[in-house]
Chain A
Amino acid sequence: MTEEQNKIPTSKVARASSVFRTSMKVGANYLKHNAQKVFNKDIDDEELDRENAEELFKLMSQLKGTALKIAQMISMENSLPKAYADKLALAQNSAMALSEPLVVNTFLKYIGKPPEEIFDKFNRRAVHAASIGQVHEAWKNGKKLAVKLQYPGVADSIHSDLNLVKPLILRILGVKEKDMQQYFQEFEERLTEECDFELELKNGTQIAQESKSIPNLIIPKYYPEWSAKKILTMEWIEAMPLQQFIDTETDQDKKNKIGQALMDFLHTSIHEHHRFHADPHPGNFLVTADSQLVVLDFGCVKTIPDDFYNFYFSLVKEEVVNDNTKLFICLKGLDFLRDSDDKETTKLFYENALRAIKNISKPMKSDIFYFGDQNYYDDLRTHGEDIISNKQFRNPNALRGSKHAIYLHRAFFGLYSILFKLNATVHIDRRFVDKVGV
């Protein structure tokens, strides 16, 4: 057993006790903070928030599965210190490896045959580990395949893990559970889907079909005959991780080519099919030797309803932003504004929602966009921090935005931060703009 394995609390008791430890620390931080406040009334709550966020994040990177996914999501929103984001990246790679007998057992249970009977050759030792499963190499009819196996018990632990971290999230955000309910539900739905390999196979196959015409894009072929609920078999593609490509490639044309493929891929999914890969972080992409982008992992696919799509992307149009009636219809449709709001609240949310959407849609307003612009990236990144540190957002009424926006924003943040790292200049297909409207 490796050291990392021992560090991961897999049993519910172990998980509960680390959660307990963290809540104690969070409690202690409050105590310390209030004691200081007695003597020094000027102490800002900001420091406390930061300390608590750090405690929460430490906890989450220690737990696996669900908590890790939530932590990932939080770090994508860039509201947490970079040091912890780095720590998290480490946690992603240190996963518990299944013993060889359990690998065989998994095949027998879900397909009914040992792996060697299904494939011509199978490597019982995993070659790669991820947050919810591990990857094995296999060969069939002269073709190399990647076989992903899910850790047992991961799907079952989602609900209980979420319940464990809920109180902490509520405490940090300073809101009530009933106000967060719709968002928690959205997390739980997506995370549960992520553990369903049959659904992933269906989504992957369908999105591959829809993205066929995109240049320089490869989506591995899935093999339903050798897949099951916890086993997913796909074509093996020789390629390097995207992060490595970003770090080592010096030819900007090649980087632009990859950036363009990624942009086209997500834009086509979002605008033409309203269903997209909602987890675009560098770990889910590879780059082949001839600079083609390989998309992996269709576990997290989000479908957005048509009316949400229309309200949201109408805001890309100048004519809508400049027309107050239309603008308010959209912002209300997206639940950023409510009929019950007074003048001040309206102003606060109006400004912030508009800033967020303006930032995200900025690249969609021109035919060609340079993503390496540090100012643009900082603006995008700091908005989240501004919201977290603004006290006006610390009331139950402040939880705003349709739940569908979470994964859409996650996709855009992921896409834009990869494009920033690639320093890419990409062409934007703006044909969708003519189709949206309110």
Chain B
Amino acid sequence: MTTLTTPDFTAVFNKTVAICHTDENYVQYSVREKMLAFVFTFLQNIAAQEADFTASIQKNKYPWQQQGLKDLKANFKKFTDDLIFEGTNSGEIQARPLIANYYQTILWNAFWTILFFWANDKSNYKENSDVMVEKTIHFSFDLLAPNAIDSGVDWLQNYIKLRTSIK
């Protein structure tokens, strides 16, 4: 029986970011695609040491109490900070007062959901995880993107403001 070693999440994180940047298409990607590229690359990298990472992710009730995952969370948040900034500038992400503070949390939860799914995925070549990545990232970025609620709020603000003129 092989013994499990503690996997190095920080090293994998750094490697993932480095690999993403070597792809010349990465710069032109939308922030949504950048996130997809990051997650796919991350999963490829942890697959090389699958048993260790799986054990670590599945560990007892509170896996994120491990130092490795705490570090990963911190690194991931820094990474998404940049993405959110970039997305807000390009118009892909809607800057909303107060709620915008939770964008990082939304993305981290999405990422953690994917990791947890991956660790328990028994499909061939873990192809179900690929489907999950696409669906989860699209869903979370759809939450962040400008949507009907934003234009609803915008409409309401304008209606209140302009209502006075029709009196």
Chain A interface (Cβ < 8 Å from any Cβ of B): 1, 10-11, 98-102, 104-106, 108-110, 114, 124, 152-153, 155-156, 229-230
Contact (Cβ within 8 A) A104 B138: no
**Total contacting residues, chain B, CB less than 8 A:** 23
Q: Which of B32, B33, B127, B142 interacts with A152 by CB under 8 Å?
A: B127
Contact of A153 among B32, B36, B40, B127 (CB under 8 A): B127
Contacts of B33 in A (CB 8 A): 99-101
Chain B nearest Cβ from A133, distance in angstroms? 13
Query: How would residues 75 to 118 of chain B score, 1 for a CB under 8 Å from any chain A CB and 0 otherwise?
Result: 00000000000000000000000000000000000000000000
CA of A130 to CA of B76, assembled, Å: 36
Inter-chain contact B130/A153, CB cutoff 8 Å? yes
Q: Give the chain A neighbours of B123 by CB distance below 8 A.
A: 153, 156
Judging by beta carbons under 8 Å apart, are A114 and B23 in contact? Answer: yes
Whether a CB of chain A sits under 8 angstroms from the CB of B3 is no
15 A-B residue pairs with CB within 8 Å: A99-B33, A99-B134, A100-B29, A101-B39, A102-B36, A102-B133, A104-B40, A105-B44, A110-B125, A152-B127, A152-B131, A153-B127, A153-B130, A156-B123, A229-B125
Give the residue of B37, B131, B142 whose beta carbon is less than 8 angstroms from that of A101.
B37
Q: Is the CB of B23 within 8 A of A102?
A: no
Most chain A CB within 10 A, of B37, B123, B131, is at B131
B130, A105: Cβ atoms under 8 Å?
yes
* A152/B130 in contact, CB under 8 A: yes
Chain A residue at minimal CB-CB distance from B35 = A101
Residues of A within 8 A of B125 (CB): 109-110, 229
Indicate if the CB atoms of A99 and B36 lie closer than 8 Å: yes
A10-B135, A124-B25, A156-B123 known; A101+B130 contact, CB < 8 A:
no
CB-based nearest A residue for B125: A109
**Is B128's beta carbon under 8 Å from chain A?**
yes
A10 to B130, CA, bound (A): 13
Check A1–B138 contact: CB distance below 8 A: yes
Contact check, B40 vs A102: say whether CB atoms are below 8 A apart. yes
User: Whose C-beta in chain B lies nearest to the C-beta of A5?
Assistant: B138
Contact call B128/A109, Cβ cutoff below 8 A = no
Q: Mark B33-62, 1 if CB is under 8 A from A, else 0.
A: 100110111001000000000000000000
Additional A-B contact list (12), CB under 8 Å, known A104-B23, A104-B37: A10-B131, A99-B134, A100-B37, A101-B39, A101-B40, A102-B36, A104-B40, A106-B130, A108-B44, A110-B125, A152-B127, A153-B123
Across the interface, do A102 and B130 meet the contact criterion of CB distance under 8 Å?
yes
- Which residues in B have their C-beta under 8 angstroms from that of A99? 32-33, 36, 134
Verify A152–B40 contact, CB threshold 8 A.
no
Residues in chain B near residue A102, CB distance under 8 A: 36, 40, 130, 133-134
Measured in the bound complex, the distance between the Cα atoms of B8 and A67 in whole Å is 44
Chain A residues with Cβ below 8 Å from B41 are 105
Distance, CA A229 to CA B124, complexed state (A) = 11
Chain B nearest CB: distance from A227 CB in Å?
A: 15
7 closest A-B pairs by beta carbon, nearest first, are A101-B37, A101-B36, A105-B40, A152-B130, A152-B127, A153-B131, A101-B40
The residue among B25, B40, B124, B128 with the most chain A CB atoms within 10 A of its own CB is B40
Most chain B beta carbons < 10 A, residue from A10, A105, A106, A229: A105
Cβ contacts under 8 Å, A105 to chain B: 40-41, 44, 130
Q: Which residue of B lies closest to A1 (CB)?
A: B138
Question: In the assembly, what is the distance between CA of A347 and CA of B36, in Å?
Answer: 63
Which residues on A sit within 8 Å (CB–CB) of B135?
10-11
Q: Which residues of A contact B36 (CB under 8 A)?
A: 99-102
- B114-154 residues with Cβ-Cβ distance < 8 A to A are 123-125, 127-128, 130-131, 133-135, 138, 142
CB distance from B3 to the nearest CB of A (A): 28
B-side contacts of A153, CB under 8 Å: 123, 127-128, 130-131
Rounded to whole Å, the gap between the CB of A156 and the closest CB of chain B is 6
CA distance A109 to B23 in the complex (A): 16
**Who on chain B is nearest to A156 by CB?**
B123
A121 to chain B, nearest CB (A): 13
Min C-beta distance of B65 to chain A, whole Å = 30
**What distance in Å separates the Cβ of B46 from its nearest Cβ neighbour in chain A?**
13
Q: How far is the CA of A156 from the CA of B39 in the complex (A)?
A: 22
